[in-house]
Amino acid sequence: MSESHSMVRVSAIVPAYNEAERIGAVLWPLLHAPSVGEVIVVDDGSTDETANVAQSFGVTVVSLPVNCGKSVALDLGVQKARYETLLFLDADLVGLRPDHIERMIRVYCEDKRDMVVGVFRGGRLNTDLAQTIAPYLSGQRVLSKSIWRKLRRKVHKLEFGVEIALTKLALKEGWAQAFVELDGVTHVMKEEKFGLSRGLASRFKMYGDIVRSVFTRVTE
């Protein structure tokens, strides 16, 4: 990685499904982070105003006709990205600031890491605890297009659990990783978005995806 932090330009990719009320809190800091050269929102078949809200910020919006899942949305965003360095951010973050973004990119560039993972600290107890136990489940990542293409080649079906898939490949191949604390950042929990019953159903589906990803084969 020859570029310094001051020279690098990053393509930020934000997969979003029905996040009209929340996505602005992610797009604003992205647009004020100097290293971010473009912002791509992949609207994953939303039925609300997610796409329109994102367009009002002047970012690139790509819409899927139906909900295809996070992995498909990320892959489409990577295909559209102009820059080699990628930043993945969830669309429901709370408390994100431009300096969090710059910190992740700086560690990636200056410490010559293959992947940087942002983890919540000091946002709220539930999400802090979850990411202390399993920081590899975080969706906040900096990596290269070449790393993403390697994942696509080695995992037969990238349908779910993209964070687990990246973690497994990183461990298998000995990638240089770093975890960067995002102080004061949390996210809106599924139970808050959808209500208790739908939120729990969505959470259990996510856990099922994670379990299936653990057993998905990574090829040599």
Mean pLDDT (the chain) is 84
> Model confidence over 196-205: pLDDT tens digits?
465 444 544 5
Strands (E), the chain: 10-16, 36-44, 60-64, 85-88, 93-94, 115-121, 140-144, 177-183, 186-187
Distance of CA 30 to the CA centre of its chain: 13
What is the arithmetic mean of pLDDT over 76-99?
97
Residue scoring higher pLDDT (111 or 194): 111
Q: Compute and round to an integer the Cα radius of gyration of the chain.
A: 16
Residue scoring higher pLDDT (38 or 5): 38
- Supply the pLDDT for residue 187: 86
Q: Does residue 22 register a pLDDT over 70?
A: yes
Q: Which CATH superfamily is domain 10-214 in?
A: Spore Coat Polysaccharide Biosynthesis Protein SpsA; Chain A (3.90.550.10)
Distance of CA 36 to the CA centre of its chain: 14
Q: How confident is the model at residue 193 (pLDDT cuts 50, 70, 90)?
A: low
Residue scoring higher pLDDT (136 or 30): 30
Would you state the structure tokens that stand for residue 196, as one six-digit string? 């208790």
CA distance 96 to 71: 22
Domain ranges of the chain: 10-214
Q: How confident is the model at residue 218 (pLDDT cuts 50, 70, 90)?
A: very low
CA distances from 26 to 101, 122, 152, 180 (A): 10, 18, 26, 18
Q: How confident is the model at residue 161 (pLDDT cuts 50, 70, 90)?
A: confident
- Beta-bridge mates of residue 211: none
Instruction: Please provide the size of the chain in residues.
Output: 220
> Model confidence over 109-152: pLDDT tens digits?
999 999 999 998 875 656 556 655 566 788 999 999 999 999 98
Q: How confident is the model at residue 220 (pLDDT cuts 50, 70, 90)?
A: very low
What is the arithmetic mean of pLDDT over 181-203?
65
> Model confidence over 67-85: pLDDT tens digits?
999 999 999 999 999 999 9
By three-state DSSP, how is residue 195 classified? Answer: coil
- Supply the pLDDT for residue 143: 98
Q: Does residue 1 register a pLDDT over 80?
A: no
pTM of the model: 0.82
